[in-house]
Amino acid sequence: MIVFRTVAYRLVDKNLVLEKLRGVLDPEIGRSIVDLKMVRDISASDGNVYVKIALTVAHCPLAKTLQADVENAVRKLDDVRSVKVETTTMSRKELEELKQQLQPGAGPSTPSRGGPGVGPGIERLGKRGVRSIIAVISGKGGVGKSFVTSMLASVLKRSGYEVGVLDADLTGPSIAKVLGVSGKPYKSPGGGIVPLRTKTGIKVMSINLVLDDPSMPVVWRGPIVNSVIRQLYWDVDWGDLHYLLVDLPPGTSDAPLTVFQSLPLDGVIVVSSPQDLASMIVSKAVNMAKKMDVPILGLVENMSYLKCPGCGKTTNVFGESKGENLASSLGVSFLGAIPLDPAIARLSDEGKIEEYSNSIIEGIVNELRTRAAKQVEHLTQGLPIAWSIEP
């Protein structure tokens, strides 16, 4: 029997495309682009699909991310040969209507769980203009928390989000070096500390930016550590951010405890390495997060294996990968396994980790922003940041 392939292409149905688009959320507003009336045109012929999307803001930094999301969603349909996504911009009238639609559910820009006090206390601080605060934890040192934190930040920034990184590791601060930030933060006329920015625009705050000599230790006992972490969050003018990532030190003592108790965390990402030894200590951190009622977004295994640059042979330098089993035994999602790569150490040492690219990390970020987008809708934390950036 002969089947003409062209027959199959004709079967792509505009209604099926619309159905798929219903699952695509605006990366900022966290609602379906169909509900937001952003889908303006759909056509399909011979398996070639065309979609036109109306952006809320011209040159929105998230436009490319939204286009990619639309394309990926449509590609999931059978018989699709190509997808073309074009964008236009909403008219002023359309935008006003959308604002009206969103406004009722949206709270003021400085709402929060808990009071706004700062100091050595433990009461939870407010969220102000930050949408999602995510801590990267491990319990174990040296598994690559700072690498994962800065990669998540880099990929989110590349996707068009406003991102900040708070380095809560006061005694082993790595973030400023890995992200290539130096210089001293200054105080704004309003009194807040202005964080420094990386080449791509990630806002960074770390104790090492405040010290005169980054090789000098901060020999501080717990109460001072706690107070300083609270200040790095509250006294810093983070402005409007989609994501504030918090890099935690190893352990389950003062610094992590302060972050869990004082910062309004939306979730944590757990980093492990393949050693049994690491699993045991990572379990401690996960159990701590559970005790403190912080949602665990998932577990990433780092340093999973090394592919020899000479012969291509894979070596399990730290033992066989067991991230998936560990995640399932702890009852958390497994987000992926990142291999060892000498380029990581080199780019970290050169302060150029933003240049690193890895499909596994991109997958983790996609997972993360989908979850966060849903959460944003739930939290209804105000209007999209892009609206205030682009007047």
The site for a copy of itself (CB under 8 A) is made up of 139-143, 146, 170-174, 177-178, 214-223, 225, 249-255, 257, 273-277, 280-281, 283-285, 287-288, 291, 306, 308-311, 313, 315-319, 340, 342, 345-346, 348-349
Taking the complex as a whole, the smallest distance from the CB of residue 272 to a copy of itself amounts, in Å, to 11
124 near 245, Cβ under 8 Å?
no
Taking the complex as a whole, the smallest distance from the CB of residue 175 to a copy of itself amounts, in Å, to 10
Max CA distance (Å), the chain: 79
The token pair at 357 is 């690219």
247 near 166, Cβ under 8 Å?
yes
213 near 104, Cβ under 8 Å?
no
228 near 258, Cβ under 8 Å?
no
303 near 274, Cβ under 8 Å?
yes
Calpha distance 277→233 (Å, rounded) = 32
Calpha distance 125→265 (Å, rounded) = 10
Q: Which is nearer to a copy of itself, 65 or 206 (CB)?
A: 206
Taking the complex as a whole, the smallest distance from the CB of residue 274 to a copy of itself amounts, in Å, to 7
Calpha distance 258→245 (Å, rounded) = 15
The token pair at 143 is 């598994």
Taking the complex as a whole, the smallest distance from the CB of residue 276 to a copy of itself amounts, in Å, to 4
CA nearest neighbour of 390 among 79, 10, 92? 92
Q: Which is nearer to a copy of itself, 254 or 266 (CB)?
A: 254
Q: Which is nearer to a copy of itself, 89 or 171 (CB)?
A: 171
Taking the complex as a whole, the smallest distance from the CB of residue 85 to a copy of itself amounts, in Å, to 40
The token pair at 307 is 């592919």
Taking the complex as a whole, the smallest distance from the CB of residue 248 to a copy of itself amounts, in Å, to 11
Work out the angle between the directed axes of helices 254-262 and 222-234 (0-180°, nearest 10).
40
Q: Which is nearer to a copy of itself, 107 or 222 (CB)?
A: 222
Q: Which is nearer to a copy of itself, 24 or 178 (CB)?
A: 178
293 near 264, Cβ under 8 Å?
no
221 near 215, Cβ under 8 Å?
no
54 near 88, Cβ under 8 Å?
yes
CB atoms closer than 10 angstroms to residue 379: 18
Taking the complex as a whole, the smallest distance from the CB of residue 235 to a copy of itself amounts, in Å, to 21
Q: Which is nearer to a copy of itself, 3 or 216 (CB)?
A: 216
The token pair at 381 is 């934390």
Q: Which is nearer to a copy of itself, 159 or 226 (CB)?
A: 226
Q: Which is nearer to a copy of itself, 320 or 324 (CB)?
A: 320
